[in-house]
């Protein structure tokens, strides 16, 4: 393996590690904030009912002098109990957040491509993904499973596969000069990933995930085959619509 390839892998690993640390810190902060809000709601003092002194004493009404000319009864005193402030609405235990519920649709941009996502069930989504670069193209499905969210932080993991096309400049890579200078290969990629999705505004979210992927490529003209495990990083921006609100 050339020194350029080694340095590229090191840069990719460093970027992934920094992103993982950043997301981990956001997850911890979000968990702490959610715990504080829950503690405030649980410890909120219950509002007491209005004192019984507001009621009119029956003895006082009975002792009032009766008037022969007036048949009007004593005015009724209305009770105005203090209103109890309702706590902030949260997702009930066992319920699924509407943002990862069945029927939710999303379209997004990823680096470098586009994708469309559909929640086929609660916490489970499928995605069609397309990516393009000048020397490579990949298209294929993804399967997501979401874990229990923390505020606006939605961790997930999943599996993916893709059909891959790749072109390589033979003159640069091996000093090959005669004939066509471009070596075109096709193959597949398959692997797993884990990451998180962060809602930044209403139905708009950012996502980041990473994981190992096995890539196998072959060139039929020159009977060349190559394969190995690579480390993939994915960034994306998604807009959601539909589903229960």
pLDDT digits (tens), the chain, 245 positions: 444 444 455 555 555 555 665 666 565 666 666 666 666 655 555 444 444 444 444 554 444 444 444 444 445 545 555 555 554 445 566 688 999 999 999 999 998 999 999 999 999 999 999 999 998 999 999 999 999 999 899 999 999 999 999 887 665 555 554 555 678 899 999 999 999 999 998 899 999 999 999 999 998 766 667 789 999 999 999 999 987 66
Which CATH code is given to the segment(s) 103-241? 2.40.160.20
At 164, give phi and psi (nearest 5°).
-120, 140
Residues 243 and 119 sit within 8 Å (Cβ to Cβ)? yes
Task: Find out whether 226 and 216 touch, Cβ atoms under 8 Å.
Answer: yes
Name the E strands within 74-203.
Answer: 105-110, 113-121, 124-133, 136-146, 153-169, 182-201
**What residue has token string 């708009």?**
204
The 3-state DSSP class for residue 144 equals strand
Structure tokens that stand for 17 in this block? 């590690």
Mapping DSSP to helix (H, G, I), strand (E, B) and coil, where does residue 208 land?
strand
- For strands 182-201 and 204-219, give the pairing: antiparallel
125 touches 74 (CB < 8 A):
no
List the chain domain ranges: 103-241
């Amino acid at each position: 393996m050339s020194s350029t390839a080694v340095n590229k892998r090191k840069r990719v690993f460093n970027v992934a590690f920094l992103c993982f640390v950043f997301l981990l810190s956001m997850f911890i902060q979000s968990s702490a904030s959610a715990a504080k809000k829950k503690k405030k709601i649980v410890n909120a003092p219950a509002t007491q009912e209005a004192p019984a002194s507001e009621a009119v004493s029956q003895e006082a009404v009975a002792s009032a002098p009766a008037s022969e000319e007036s048949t009007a009864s004593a005015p009724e005193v209305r009770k105005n109990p203090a209103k109890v402030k309702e706590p902030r609405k949260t997702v009930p235990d066992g319920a699924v957040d509407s943002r990862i519920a069945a029927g939710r649709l999303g379209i997004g941009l990823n680096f470098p491509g586009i994708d469309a996502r559909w929640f086929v069930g609660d916490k489970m989504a499928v995605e069609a993904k397309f990516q393009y670069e000048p020397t490579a193209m990949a298209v294929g499905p993804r399967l997501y499973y979401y874990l229990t969210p923390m505020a606006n932080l939605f961790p997930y993991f999943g599996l993916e596969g893709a059909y891959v096309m790749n072109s390589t400049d033979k003159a640069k890579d091996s000093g090959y000069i005669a004939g066509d200078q471009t070596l075109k290969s096709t193959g597949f990629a398959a692997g797993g990933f884990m990451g998180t999705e962060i809602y930044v505004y209403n139905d708009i979210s950012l996502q980041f995930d990473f994981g190992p992927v096995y890539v196998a490529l072959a060139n039929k003209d020159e009977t060349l085959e190559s394969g190995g495990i690579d480390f993939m990083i994915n960034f994306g921006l998604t807009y959601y619509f539909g589903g229960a609100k």
